[in-house]
Structures are given as structure tokens and as C-alpha cells.
Amino acid sequence: MKVPVLGITFCILVLTIAGAVVQARDDGRYAHSPLKPWFDGLKSGKGLCCSDADGFSVSDPDWESKDGHYRVRVDIEWVDVPDDAVVTEPNRYGRTMVWPTKGTLGTSIRCFMPGTMT
């Protein structure tokens, strides 16, 4: 069976782009931030937050606490935060942060750091 070259080229292009999107890495833009060493050492019960997930700030309407547990909206999906993903040290950044990972079973939370609800 002969596979068209265009089909193979398209598949390689898609896999290359998908691989680039999935990889999380420090691109150096925060190298001079006084909080960088703190973020680099930030961890939950699941390990270092920045080791394999990119974190981002979450607006107050996109996270909530109920009965001592958290949940957070990632993209358009509400995801329950496992207790061992909660960062327990004081939040020096001030804003709520989440480090989600996406896999074949959906979105999971590596780290969640609640901020102050204002």
C-alpha cells in the first residue's frame, strides 16, 4: 500500500506541533524576578509544581472552596483539586495559581495555591 507523501508530511507536522505544545519549560522571561527562586522550589504533595506543568493565575470566579476542598476551572472544565495538590505554604505571589496537566484521562491538577478571595 502506498501512502501519499502529503499525508505523511501532515502527520509529522501535527505531531511536531503537538509535542511543542505539551512540553513545559522555563523560557527565561522571569529570570530576574525576585520570586523566581520561590516559584522554582514551590511544591505540593505531588512534587515540584514547575517541574512538568506550566502554572497560571486564576481569577476569583474560576475557583472555589466547599467543605474544605477546592475546585478550579481549567479552560471550560471544572476540575476537583486533590488534597495532596494543594500548596500549603504561604502564597507570596498573592493570586490564586494552578498547575494543570492534561493527559489521556483528562485534566489533573499537579499544584493549586489559593489566593485571597477579593
> Each residue of 25-74: pLDDT tens digit?
456 666 778 898 999 999 999 999 987 778 999 999 999 998 999 999 99
CATH number of 30-113: 2.40.50.180
Q: H or E element: which one contains 39?
A: helix 36-41
- What per-residue confidence (pLDDT) applies to 26? 57
Q: State whether residue 23 is helix, strand or coil.
A: coil
pTM of the model: 0.72
Q: Where are the domains of the chain?
A: 30-113
- Mean pLDDT over the full length of the chain: 79
CA 38/CA 98 separation, integer angstroms: 15
| Nearest in space to 62 (alpha carbons), one of 44, 77, 82 | 77
